[in-house]
Amino acid sequence: MQMIEAGTVTITDRRTERSWTVEIAPFLLSPLQVTRRAIGEAFGIEITGAENGDDLLPATSTSWFDAVRFCNRLSEQEGLRPAYAITGEESAIEAEAGGAPRASSAETGQVNGADIAEADRVPGADIAEADTAKSGGSNASSAELGWSRTSAGSGSEAVVWDRTADGYRLPTEAEWEYACRAGTTGPRYGELDEIAWYRGNSGERLHRGGELAANAWGLYDMLGNAWEWCYDVYDAEVYRDYRVIKGGGWFDEHWSCRAGVRRRTMPTLRIDDLGFRLARNASR
């Protein structure tokens, strides 16, 4: 994994024209998105449905809940303390191993459940405040205890994040955007066709990670190819437990593949242009 040094990032909400700056502690981030092979090996299952049988493609069609369960499984296998306490339903990865029908971006003409025309209209809630809860009857907040809690819209599955754990986890939105920018200030860290698979050059299909140029911090496909799950709630007041997704995908137009674009979707969604990459806390 790549070490991402401490810094700050300014996130901008286009609809409200509001911006906020977040301090980033050092953390680790995978240079590539998680692959279908990695998921299959972690759960001891055969992942079906990969294009041309290629299990080195990014693991798209994984929900947010699938992603956090994978993080925990890999942590346990490597002797790390899992970042998430999870209660509720079994992961779709384990239950179905890729056999359930999934939505297709090409078929729906939508971006992960949001119309393209509406996708950048973001209410802009304070994400840090939206994803905290009381813990164990204590008067301390979850943020003060180092924990954050969320639950699925059905109430059937809950996730609590131990922010002190050394195990694998999803990056926060601020971490993701900071790492994507890699010290740059423009919408992209390079020329689009050189760094990202999008509608203009992808051939309307997913590609293996690492085929195009990395950013200055050695991270590949931060833009294009597949959207990526972040940990954060998008706007709890308006969209409840919808999660932030970043980066753009193989079926998106160029304007979606920008570091600052913020999109949302339900944490149970599984679609063919949405995956994730792993983060970890840096050793202190």
DSSP at 39: H
Which helix H or strand E contains 179, and what residues bound it?
Answer: helix 173-181
The three-class DSSP label of residue 203 is coil
Residue 218 in this model has a pLDDT that exceeds 90: yes
Residue 267 in this model has a pLDDT that exceeds 60: yes
Residue 236 in this model has a pLDDT that exceeds 60: yes
DSSP at 233: E
pLDDT score at 45: 84
Instruction: Please give the single-letter amino acid code of residue 98.
Output: G
pTM here is 0.79
Q: Where are the beta strands (DSSP E) in 96-214?
A: 147-151, 157-162
Q: Where are the beta strands (DSSP E) in 137-186?
A: 147-151, 157-162
Question: How far is residue 221's CA from residue 242's CA, in Å, rounded to a whole number?
Answer: 23
Six token digits for residue 75: 């942590």
More confident residue, 237 or 99: 237
Six token digits for residue 166: 């050394």
Which of 170, 253, 180, 277 minimizes the C-alpha distance to 223? 180
What is the set of domains in the chain, with CATH numbers? 2-281 (3.90.1580.10)
Q: How confident is the model at residue 235 (pLDDT cuts 50, 70, 90)?
A: confident
State the SS3 of 19-43: EEEEEECCEEECCCCCEHHHHHHHH
Q: Where are the beta strands (DSSP E) in 64-140?
A: 84-88
More confident residue, 99 or 212: 212
Torsion (CA) 150, 87, 167, 247 in degrees, nearest 10: -40
Residue 151 in this model has a pLDDT that exceeds 60: no
